[in-house]
Amino acid sequence: MADTPVTNTNTNTNEPGERTERESTSAGRLSGLDRCHRRFRRGSVADGGQGRLASRLGVKPQVLVLALARMAEAVGNSFLIVVLPLFIASDFVGGGSFGLAEVTITGIVLALFGFVNSPLQPITGRLSDRTGRRKVFLLAGLGLLSVSSLGYAMASTYWHLLALRVLQGVAGALIVPTSIALVNDFATDDDRGGNMGIYNAFRLVGFGVGPIGAGAVLAAGPYSLAFGEVGVNFTGFEAAFSFAAVTAVIGASLVLLFVCDPAIDSAGSEPEAAADGFVVFDRTGGNLFDPVFALGAVSFLMAVGIAMFATLGDVINARLEQGARMFGLQFAAFVFAHIVLQVPIGRATDFYGRKLFLVAGAVLLIPTTAVQGFILDSWVMFGARFAQGAAGAMVFTPALALAGDLAPEDGSGSTLSVLTMAFGLGIAVGPLLSGVLVRFGFPVPFVVGAALASIGVVLVATQVEDVVSPQRRPF
How would residue 23 be classed by pLDDT, with cut points 50, 70 and 90?
very low
CA 291-458-363 angle, 5° bins: 110
Percent of the chain with pLDDT over 70: 81
Does residue 460 contact residue 366 with C-beta atoms inside 8 Å?
Answer: no
How would residue 245 be classed by pLDDT, with cut points 50, 70 and 90?
very high
Does residue 423 contact residue 328 with C-beta atoms inside 8 Å?
Answer: no
- Residue pLDDT, tens place only, 305-314: 988 887 787 7
Distance CA 10, CA 14 (A): 7
| pLDDT exceeds 60 at position 8 | no
Find the helix packing angle between 61-89 and 158-186, rounded to 10°. 170
How would residue 331 be classed by pLDDT, with cut points 50, 70 and 90?
confident
Distance CA 423, CA 232 (A): 42
Domain at 16-463, CATH from 1.20.1250.20, 1.20.140.10, 3.30.365.10, 3.40.50.970: 1.20.1250.20
Q: Which residue would you say has higher pLDDT here, 41 or 187?
A: 187
pLDDT score, position 38: 53
| pLDDT exceeds 80 at position 157 | yes
Q: Which residue would you say has higher pLDDT here, 444 or 473?
A: 444
pLDDT score, position 270: 45
| pLDDT exceeds 90 at position 171 | yes
SS3 content of the chain, % helix, strand, coil (to 5): 75, 5, 20
How would residue 56 be classed by pLDDT, with cut points 50, 70 and 90?
low
Which of 417, 406, 421 is CA-nearest to residue 125?
A: 417
pLDDT score, position 45: 43
Find the helix packing angle between 61-89 and 49-57, rounded to 10°. 100
Q: Which residue would you say has higher pLDDT here, 232 or 151?
A: 151
Find the helix packing angle between 378-406 and 291-307, rounded to 10°. 160
Percent of the chain with pLDDT over 90: 28
As a whole number, mean pLDDT of residues 414-442 equals 86
As a whole number, mean pLDDT of residues 158-178 equals 91
| pLDDT exceeds 60 at position 173 | yes
| pLDDT exceeds 50 at position 11 | no
How would residue 378 be classed by pLDDT, with cut points 50, 70 and 90?
very high
Does residue 245 contact residue 168 with C-beta atoms inside 8 Å?
Answer: no
Does residue 303 contact residue 395 with C-beta atoms inside 8 Å?
Answer: no
pLDDT score, position 474: 54
As a whole number, mean pLDDT of residues 313-333 equals 83
> Using DSSP, how many helices (H) and how many strands (E) does the chain show?
16, 2
213-222, 366-375, 403-412: which has the highest mean pLDDT?
366-375
Distance CA 459, CA 281 (A): 13
pLDDT score, position 472: 64
- What do you get for the CA distance between the two ends of the chain, in Å? 31
CA 314-304-341 angle, 5° bins: 95
- Residue pLDDT, tens place only, 62-118: 888 898 898 888 888 777 877 888 888 787 777 666 667 776 777 788 778 888 988
Minimum mean pLDDT range among 67-71, 169-173, 196-200, 276-280:
276-280
| pLDDT exceeds 90 at position 302 | yes
| pLDDT exceeds 60 at position 411 | yes
- Average pLDDT for the chain: 80
